[in-house]
Structure 1
Amino acid sequence: MVERVRVTDLAAFAHQDVPFEQLVHALQPARSLARHPLFQVMIVLQNNAVASLDLPGVVARPVDGEGGAAKFDLGFNFVERTGPDGGPVGIELTVEYSADLFDESTVRRIGERLVRLLTAGTADPAMPLGRLDILGDGEREQLLTGWNDTGRTLELPAAVEEGPESETIAGLFAAQVARTPDALALVAGDTRLTYAELEARSAALAGLLAARGVGRGDVVAVAVPRSADLTVALLAAIRAGAAYLPIELDYPAERVAHMLADAAPAVVVTTSGALGALPVGAAANLVVLDGPGTREEAEAALGTAVLPGPLPDSPAYVIYTSGSTGLPKGVVVPHRGIVNRLLWMQDAYRIGPDDRVLQKTPSGFDVSVWEFFWPLVTGAVQVVAEPGGHRDPAYLARLIQDAGVTTTHFVPSMLEVFLAEPQAARCTGLRRVLCSGEALPTGLRERFRALLPAGLHNLYGPTEASVDVTAWDCAEESAAAVVPIGRPVWNTRTYVLDAALAPAPVGSGGELYLGGVQLAHGYLGRAGLTAERFVADPYGPPGSRLYRTGDLARITAAGVLEYLGRTDDQVKIRGRRVELGEIEHALTRHPLVGSAVVTARTTPSGVTLAAYVTSAGPGRAPDPAALRDHLTGVLPDHMVPVHYTLIDAVPVTPNGKVDRKALPEPELLERAPGRAPRDGTETALCEIFAELLGHPTVSIDDNFFELGGHSLLATRLISMVRDRLGAGMSVVSIFEAPTVAALALRLADADAAGPLSRLLPLRSGGTGAPVFCVHPLGGLSWPYAGLAEHLPADVGLYGLQSAGIGDDEPLPATVEEMAADYVARIRTVQARGPYRLLGWSLGGRVAHAMAGLLEAAGQEVELLALLDAYPRTEPEPAASFSEEDFLRGILAAIGMDADELGGPVEFGRVMAAMRASGKELAGLTEEQLRRLQRVMANSFRVEAGSVTGRCRAGAVMFAATVDPAGEPGDWLQHIEGDLEIHSVAAAHNDLMRPAPLAGIGAVLAKKLARTAPVDRA
């Protein structure tokens, strides 16, 4: 018996006339009302006789519904037709569709394919459904060959010598050198090299590599910061016949060690400043570009070395990408593929001597390959961005304008923040901007076109296919929400295939496969993985291969490819490929983790990673903060999850696979209680941090990057601070002062004492003993803030600044007087040792004197770091220091030459230039600037008149090798411990620039890795 339902609440009828789709929308607000709420496709089979309805007093007759509104997105109406004798004669099919969602041609194709499917199925009922062919006459040929008709004979430029090498990067470069030897080839800061000079430097280094045993097919690792030397080293490796392996210096040491062990390079090329970023014993065969005797060895080898040079099928480079098995894998790309890519690019976009191409992409990201070599094989100029500059849109906008850059690349997420930079609109000299690495939203394309007159081009391709294999000119209109990835380039083939490797019909989704000349050889030393991803091509020439991209795509009726997503767990974060399995493997290496699952989440702040872990056993729950620290030591920062959630067990589907949909909402890291905001600026910053990073609350001690921030979000933070507080700052400021408290100091009123305080917290907090940095001759410790991103997260950083900048207090007369003052100040932060001291220039001598005073008080000095500082054994007269000397120093600090002022070097002009620069000094008032001049003049007198004493501690010395100011060994007479000397390939005044600072920071980070206890009582 069926029980009837009694309605006891008449209010249930109050909205009975509301359309059902509105009810569904109320329950599912995110659901579009453009589609039917229950289902999208209706199939009806009319196989009964003529319908009849006999009721007293009622007459019923059929009404033709043609011309009415479609009730569903698609409706398939099958009607059996009978003959005169009443027997069946066939089935008539009518397709009804919503004109808002489909056009007639699409529906007609669907209907035709359905007819072919039914016809083939009835002809051979035993045929598996997946093998029934639904492609029409000519459609298969168009999919397989018509739109893949990309064959092109490469027209190589006239080479110095005809032969196989002319079809390599080395050959293309040699041909260009022969055509334009005296033309400008490269600009990197103050370095300018012609093609002949670049050829000579790379030839000398190639000769040295050959003399060290490098030959055709070898691998040469290049661990050099972005600079002219980096380009020289890459060219030299290639000219020696080897493949270059780029080593990014900010990668964790364990990752770098794996890459070097896996690739087994014949030689590692590096610099003295970058040596600290390499693992101990990384390579027995090192070439240190700025090391003693390297230049002489290269010049000697140039005349005797035999350079076999590469062949078209020789590997050109090896780039490591994220690996699903837990370790990164090296992709081996031959010259033949990248040369095809470069020559197609030149034919498509045409650059020449009046073009300047920006090289800003890190060398470990394959987009950098064409940034390095496209300009150098076409006669254009390569403009090199400073290390770290790719993260700062304000810097990039200035560089594009100042250097006359005409061509550059952005991943879409970076393009978005670049367009938000006010100075971007001034980059009207850009002629072409290329995008790749992520899907390009149509809205972003429109914002670009509204702001800049340059052409925008969307490219697509994996590292395994020589950077890019398809291209789309964004001047062509497309109604899709994501800009198409376009059509295949020269000598490449693209197929959208189903699971049986059959071509997917036009408009249908499938996995994208790539074929043609640009395919990589495979994965270095990974034959099994190579065979899995590079499969036989059933449609190409005998012996040809296809690369399985794992990307979903479809082909439009015009033969244009549209990207639809992924078939696996791979994601792109800021343009970089990330295999979630690699992160999961890294997590399970922690002794307290049993199993791990990592997911990618799209949030308003971008794609973020969430980790879920189970405990390795009862009572062994891992601490989320410890997991993050563990991953930071083995993975690049873009692969470190933001969220960490402890779960009892990993949920699985009935077939045993991980059920990611059943995972709970990720948890934010628990943070130690922090201080509440103390004023309006800190309150606003806390609100901005919380809104941008998705946290309910933020304290003034919370670190932007530890909360999940990264360089792209930092640019959004700048914009929000500018909009809400009316204050400007740089991306570097956030790296230097990543907490609300520290950032608020940076934003303080120019008249306030915050940034000019005598003891400036550059990064407060931490459980380890902090590093105290003594100012150089200028009196300010701001330049040391850049050390923060290189030192361990638990190490605080403080700057000691000179008296007399924030007010008119008396100035010290001797180094000893300075040292006594600064010792008293640091002991207000750290009552007892061990102490860590660092000083640059005059600051080094002061730090040495502080060490002596602390030791006399019974305290231990654990670290004494001297940055190009030298002892003085007898007093000397102070060097002259005029107002013009001071103002020229200010111009140098903001990166200007005196002849750019448009007039004499005087206070007013320099003040205006300083404020327009946007650099840190721009916030100083004229009164503060004049105080700074007074302080510097006093520093020159103090430095000259004080004699260096002696301390018991040892010291680590960083000596600038460009125009050295002294002999590092002189310190042995003034210390009792050991002296450790590191050469830095830079001038004295450039030590705090990103590249030298990264090398110094890497050395210091290793020394500070073992946390020393700190007593802040």
Structure 2
Amino acid sequence: MPPTHHTLTVRLPAAATDAELAAALTAAAALWWPGDRRRPRLWPEAVPAPAGSDAAVRRRAAEASRPVAPGHRLRAVLLRYADGEHGHRPAPDLVLTADACALDAHSLRLVARVLRGELDPDTVTPLDGPLPPDPHLDDATRRLAAALAVTAGRYTGASSVRVAVPVPAKDRPPYALGALDGYAVFTADLSPGRTVGDLLATGPAAPLTEGEEPPALGLVADAGGGAVTLPTGPGALPAPAHQVMYVREQLATSPPDTRLSALDPLSAAEGAARLALGAPDSTWRPTPLRIDAAFAAQVAARPDAPALTSGAATLTYAELDSRAEALADGLHAHGVRPGDLVGLCLPRSTDLVAAMLAVLKADAVYVPFDPEHPADRRERTARDAGLRLTVGDPAALTGHPPRPAADRRAAACPAYVIHTSGSTGRPKGVLVPHANVTALVDAVRDDFGLSPDDTWTCFHSAAFDFSVWEIWGALLTGGRLVVVDHWTSRSPEDFHALLVRERVSVLSQTPSAFTQLAAADRASRAAVAVRLVVLGGEPLDTRPLLDWFDLHPEDRCRLVNMYGITETTVHATATTVTRRQALDGSRSVGRPLPGWSVRVLDACGRPVPPGAPGEIHVGGAGVALGYLNRPSLTAERFVPDPLDPAGRRLYRSGDLGRLLADGTLEHLGRMDDQVKVRGFRIEPGEIRHVLLEDPAVSAAAVTVTGGGEGDAAAVRIDAYVVPAPGAGEDPGPVRERAARLLPAHMVPATVTVLAALPLTANGKLDQARLPAPATHRVPAAAPHEASRDSGPTAALAAVWQEVLGVEQVGRDDNFWDLGGNSLYAIRIGTLARERGLPGVRLRQLYLTPTLGALSDALAREP
């Protein structure tokens, strides 16, 4: 934004007197502004310090930064300093400050020349302005404007930056007085691939049109010498001035074909300091341990303590260890050897946890599958992983002789593989070693106060890496783990009751699930005993946490927001969320865990300035070994860490973030088209790949929309398909096939059939021209008879309409086909109870997904 005032400091002869200067100013002002009652006067001020002292410098700066009083054109302050050595009288300084709306920088120089006696006031003529500007910039001004734009773009992430540049008026009389000069706008295109030559060849700056506000970012005219300079003062620049000048030097010395991305506002020393800011804590050195070895230490310390609860059954540490040993013997009998991959497809139960431990005891690698995922998807993933064996029934592993004793591999060897979505249609298997998991637990054990007194829940699917934290966080610290069955995890009321009943003290949740649980907590009279809530898996909107803080003050229940990725072993950073942060809507995910590192780097792998956006890179103790059987993808995403003497790697997360000057990280979302859907990381490309495998589809597109204001339930996936020649136009079979190959959270809510996909001039998908998704309905003779019903069916239809955002619902409309998901199902149950209807459980929606069938089922309930 152009400055509100101009200032100029003029050194006067030592012999100049106050009376002479005051008289000259009064005479000139009377001549230039004869009808103005607020003519400027001279303000003599004594500075009790030598002219060259720090105190004098501060005083001059203070006078220069102080704006003119409202209604005044000009302020003139005469600073006289303390005598120098031998009574020498120093020269005074005249500080002139002008309202920018009354006098421009050129005019202020004319005023100074008159007061110094260099120019007769009669030769100066006041004029009304502004006059038409000359938008042509000289090379020096263009280079400075370009440097400011490049630096600002690096701090903000903008690909186009506008800079206001002061420009002289055309045909200005040499002694004209007034606000006559104007501003033009230098627009810098910083798009990828642009070069220094492109930027410096940018066309003439565009003059501001009448009434147009100049950009907030701008240069200022120097009243002292007529040059254009950077503005000064707090908040005047988005970056330190020396960084802008450093970029200006690079613009002046770099070849024209130099990419703008190669310009760096940070000096080598500043870059090194930024890298060190997110480096691992060198004082924290975990002892590499295998998971099963760390568990064995807990068994030895407290064999009779409760370890695992599922339903009414509880196993002690000794009993869980014995069960796992028996299953490990069975694995060996079935041919499992060290390093083999063993699939686990078991419901949430004591057997699931025991089987995980058994695989580790057999020195193999467990690969968890979610039994709720389609069988076809599980089979594809199993083939891709090259599994030795898949355990679906642990009974087949019992009753075998003890396996021979053998040395187990080192803690740096893989412990498990968890698959994440892949853009090529193949889920990516992430290889995570034992040492990463034990380091994670050790990194937070003291800070979180984890102890054998804690009771944890295993709420999440074993195929979701949050479960790694829940299971081993409990069992490697001597706590008790309560396994939450599938249907209880889908009912906030039932889950809340479990928390109360089991006296759970450590709870881990995705923010979207926690929002539903918090609502159930507000509605319940029973109090939970939770002392620690760990939130992760997806971005956190802190504002909804205020209601939780009302019932669970910070001194009794600690909320921790953690950021992490499967490839960096669940968590990488942590921050305690306070009421103040919730009120502020903080996006901070905190500082790196001990042993972890966080860097925010640009496209060239250099550290970005403090607070500037860049790609989050995670290093240290949690970085995985890579992707299973995907060497090229591993090399692309796992890159060398130049600061790690051990030669370990950084993981390029693909997440956008800001590393602040205090070392805290803000998470800003994804850089690519990867998205989070209710805590799960998905690649839309994988969904598109599955659609294109359908013989009835010749082209496909996938969009992910919704989720604004932190509403995870509103995130929806929509698909668009072009039928293959000879195929029908019914989207139902296409969606049904996709549902057999994709987990529920990846199945498109709608499939819209198009004659052709809209394309841009470059032949790419034009998402802006895609039509609104078509809602799939099962054909019915009377599709909207529910709207004519009275009683419970109509009331239930109204609930569906409100939650799903549809205008009409018929008896044969399917909840899932209307865009329903598990979070919407929970909302339907809550809203139904609020309106006096029977509660709708998620399991019931699966069994009776149409409105009519659900209404009839509810009517039959006692």
TM-score (ref. length: structure 1): 0.62
The equivalent residue for 1:197 is 319
Q: 1:63 to 1:326 in 2, by over 3 A?
A: closer
In 1: Cα distance, 2:236 partner to 2:478 partner: 47
Tell whether 2:558 aligns with 1:451: no
Structure 1 segments of 4+ aligned residues over 6 angstroms from their partners: 62-65
In 2: Cα distance, 1:228 partner to 1:517 partner: 29
The equivalent residue for 2:832 is 721
C-alpha deviation, 1:558, in angstroms: 2.1
Q: Is the 8 A contact 2:168 2:181 kept in 1?
A: no
Tell whether 2:143 aligns with 1:143: no
In 1: Cα distance, 2:784 partner to 2:259 partner: 68
| Worse-matched range after superposition: 398-407 or 442-451 | 442-451
- Deviation track 1:450-502 (CA, whole Å, cap 9, x = no partner) reads 23342111111111111111111112744764531221112222111111112
The equivalent residue for 2:698 is 594
Q: 1:477 to 1:145 in 2, by over 3 A?
A: farther
The equivalent residue for 1:352 is 451
Tell whether 2:164 aligns with 1:43: yes
Tell whether 2:719 aligns with 1:611: yes
Q: 1:50 to 1:397 in 2, by over 3 A?
A: farther
* Secondary structure, counterpart of 1:486 in structure 2: strand
For the aligned residue pairs, the C-alpha RMSD in angstroms reads 2.8
Opposite residue 773 of structure 2, the aligned amino acid is P
Q: 1:644 to 1:491 in 2, by over 3 A?
A: same
In 1: Cα distance, 2:491 partner to 2:516 partner: 9
The equivalent residue for 2:247 is 117
Tell whether 2:574 aligns with 1:437: no
Q: Which residues of structure 2 form unaligned runs of 5+?
A: 1-159, 184-211
In 2: Cα distance, 1:423 partner to 1:691 partner: 21
Q: 1:108 to 1:669 in 2, by over 3 A?
A: closer
The equivalent residue for 1:228 is 350
Tell whether 2:610 aligns with 1:506: yes
Q: Is the 8 A contact 1:314 1:335 kept in 2?
A: yes
The equivalent residue for 1:651 is 758
In 1: Cα distance, 2:219 partner to 2:374 partner: 62
Tell whether 2:444 aligns with 1:339: no
* Secondary structure, counterpart of 1:546 in structure 2: strand
In 2: Cα distance, 1:524 partner to 1:241 partner: 18
- Deviation track 1:807-858 (CA, whole Å, cap 9, x = no partner) reads xxxxxxxxxxxxxxxxxxxxxxxxxxxxxxxxxxxxxxxxxxxxxxxxxxxx
* Secondary structure, counterpart of 1:248 in structure 2: coil
Where in structure 2 are the equivalents of 1:490-889 lying within 5 Å?
490-541=594-645, 543-602=647-706, 605-617=713-725, 619-673=726-780, 674=783, 676-677=785-786, 678-725=789-836, 727-748=838-859, 754-755=860-861
In 1: Cα distance, 2:307 partner to 2:551 partner: 30
1:317 to 412, 416, 438: 416
The equivalent residue for 1:880 is none
Q: Is the 8 A contact 1:610 1:641 kept in 2?
A: yes
In 2: Cα distance, 1:636 partner to 1:216 partner: 31
C-alpha deviation, 1:553, in angstroms: 0.9
Opposite residue 486 of structure 2, the aligned amino acid is P
Q: 1:350 to 1:60 in 2, by over 3 A?
A: closer
* Secondary structure, counterpart of 2:843 in structure 1: helix
The equivalent residue for 2:237 is 107
- Deviation track 1:597-633 (CA, whole Å, cap 9, x = no partner) reads 101010674100010111222x534421111111111
In 2: Cα distance, 1:193 partner to 1:561 partner: 40
Q: 1:700 to 1:123 in 2, by over 3 A?
A: same
C-alpha deviation, 1:267, in angstroms: 2.6
Q: Is the 8 A contact 2:601 2:608 kept in 1?
A: yes
* Secondary structure, counterpart of 1:238 in structure 2: helix
In 1: Cα distance, 2:688 partner to 2:231 partner: 51
Where in structure 2 are the equivalents of 1:884-903 lying within 5 Å?
none
* Secondary structure, counterpart of 2:685 in structure 1: helix
Where in structure 2 are the equivalents of 1:372-383 lying within 5 Å?
372-383=471-482
Opposite residue 640 of structure 1, the aligned amino acid is V
* Secondary structure, counterpart of 1:231 in structure 2: helix
Q: 1:730 to 1:645 in 2, by over 3 A?
A: closer
C-alpha deviation, 1:123, in angstroms: 4.5
In 2: Cα distance, 1:535 partner to 1:40 partner: 32
The equivalent residue for 1:187 is 309
C-alpha deviation, 1:49, in angstroms: 8.9
Tell whether 2:226 aligns with 1:75: no
Tell whether 2:469 aligns with 1:370: yes
In 2: Cα distance, 1:407 partner to 1:64 partner: 63
Opposite residue 454 of structure 2, the aligned amino acid is D
Q: 1:649 to 1:108 in 2, by over 3 A?
A: closer
The equivalent residue for 1:903 is none
The equivalent residue for 1:837 is none
* Secondary structure, counterpart of 2:499 in structure 1: helix
Q: Is the 8 A contact 1:437 1:575 kept in 2?
A: yes
C-alpha deviation, 1:368, in angstroms: 0.4
Q: Which residues of structure 1 form unaligned runs of 5+?
A: 1-38, 97-103, 157-165, 272-288, 749-753, 756-923, 925-1017
In 2: Cα distance, 1:131 partner to 1:94 partner: 25
The equivalent residue for 1:386 is 485
* Secondary structure, counterpart of 2:835 in structure 1: helix
Q: 1:580 to 1:155 in 2, by over 3 A?
A: closer
The equivalent residue for 2:155 is none
Opposite residue 713 of structure 1, the aligned amino acid is Y
Q: Is the 8 A contact 1:420 1:719 kept in 2?
A: no
The percentage of aligned residue pairs carrying the same residue is 35
In 1: Cα distance, 2:765 partner to 2:648 partner: 36
In 1: Cα distance, 2:310 partner to 2:740 partner: 31
In 1: Cα distance, 2:579 partner to 2:352 partner: 37
Opposite residue 845 of structure 2, the aligned amino acid is I
C-alpha deviation, 1:171, in angstroms: 1.1
The equivalent residue for 1:409 is 508
Q: Is the 8 A contact 1:509 1:553 kept in 2?
A: yes
C-alpha deviation, 1:389, in angstroms: 2.1
In 2: Cα distance, 1:402 partner to 1:525 partner: 44
Q: 1:170 to 1:150 in 2, by over 3 A?
A: same
C-alpha deviation, 1:230, in angstroms: 0.9
Q: Is the 8 A contact 2:639 2:649 kept in 1?
A: yes
* Secondary structure, counterpart of 1:661 in structure 2: helix
Opposite residue 430 of structure 1, the aligned amino acid is V
- Deviation track 1:430-457 (CA, whole Å, cap 9, x = no partner) reads 0111111111002123233223342111
Q: Is the 8 A contact 2:533 2:560 kept in 1?
A: yes
The equivalent residue for 2:86 is none
TM-score (ref. length: structure 2): 0.72
Q: 1:107 to 1:137 in 2, by over 3 A?
A: farther
In 2: Cα distance, 1:154 partner to 1:54 partner: 73
Q: Is the 8 A contact 1:74 1:95 kept in 2?
A: no
C-alpha deviation, 1:135, in angstroms: 1.6
